[in-house]
Amino acid sequence: MFDRIVAISLMNLQNVPHRLGSSSLIVVGTAGIVCVLCGLFAMSSGLEGVTRVGGANERVLMLSKGTPHEFGSYIPAETADLLNQLDGFMVRSKERLIAIRQKNQERGRDDYILVRGLGQDWKKLRSEVEVVQGRTFSPGRAEAIVGRALLHEFPEYGIGKTIPFYQGDLSVVGVFEANGNLSESEAFTDLSIVADRYGGNFTHTVRGQLASPSDFGSVAAQLDRITQGYLRLVWEASVLPEHVKERTTMIENFATVVITIMALGAVTASLASMTGSVESRTREIATLRALGFGNGPVAVSILVEACVLSALGAAIGVALVFAFLDGVEAATRGGLGNTLLFRFDVDAMTVARCALLAMFLAFCGAAAATMRVVRLPVVQSLS
Residue 84 banded pLDDT, cuts 50, 70, 90: confident
- The residues with which 208 forms a beta bridge, in sequence order, are 60, 92
127 or 301, which is more confident? 127
Can you give the pLDDT at residue 187?
Answer: 95
Domain spans of the chain, in order of start: 2-51+244-376, 66-229
- Between 209 and 2, the higher pLDDT residue: 209
**What does the alpha-carbon distance between residue 210 and residue 365 come to, in Å, rounded to a whole number?**
57
pTM: 0.67
d(CA 356, CA 352) in angstroms, rounded, equals 6
Q: Residue 244: pLDDT above 80?
A: no
Better-predicted residue by pLDDT, 320 or 332: 320
The yes-or-no verdict on residue 355 having pLDDT over 60 is yes
Residue 292: how many other CB atoms lie within 10 Å: 8
| Structure confidence at residue 381 (pLDDT) | 47
Q: Does the structure show a pLDDT above 80 at 331? A: no
Is pLDDT of 43 > 90?
Answer: no
Element (H, E) at 46: helix 20-49
pLDDT attached to residue 96: 94
Task: Return the bridge partners of 343, or none.
Answer: 329
Q: How confident is the model at residue 94 (pLDDT cuts 50, 70, 90)?
A: very high
Note the pLDDT tens digit of each residue in 150-165: 888 888 899 999 998 8
Distances (CA, A) of 199 to 96, 98, 114, 166, 193: 11, 12, 17, 10, 10
Least confident of 70-84, 107-121, 330-344, 361-375: 330-344
Asked if residues 292 and 306 have their Cβ atoms less than 8 Å apart, the reply is no
Give the model's confidence band at 90: pLDDT under 50 very low, under 70 low, under 90 confident, else very high. Answer: confident
User: Which amino acid is residue 335, in one-letter code?
Assistant: G
Over residues 345-367, mean pLDDT? 78
Greatest mean pLDDT among 13-22, 28-37, 240-249, 323-332 lies in 28-37
> Do residues 202 and 77 lie in contact, with contact meaning Cβ atoms separated by under 8 Å?
yes
Cβ–Cβ under 8 Å, residues 136 and 210:
no
pLDDT the model gives residue 270: 58
Please answer whether residues 188 and 171 qualify as being in contact, where contact means their C-beta atoms are separated by less than 8 angstroms: no
pLDDT attached to residue 189? 96
Q: Is pLDDT above 90 for 77?
A: no
CA distances from 105 to 149, 154, 244 (A): 16, 8, 23
CB atoms under 10 Å from CB of 106, counted, come to 11
The whole-number pLDDT of residue 102 equals 76
3-state secondary structure of 345: coil
Bigger pLDDT: 373 vs 303: 303
Measured between alpha carbons, how far is 159 from 164 in angstroms, rounded to an integer?
A: 14
Least confident of 46-60, 187-201, 265-279, 364-378: 265-279
pLDDT tens digits, residue range 180-197?
777 888 999 999 999 999
Q: What is the mean pLDDT of residues 278-295?
A: 62
DSSP 149-160: HHHHH-GGGSTT
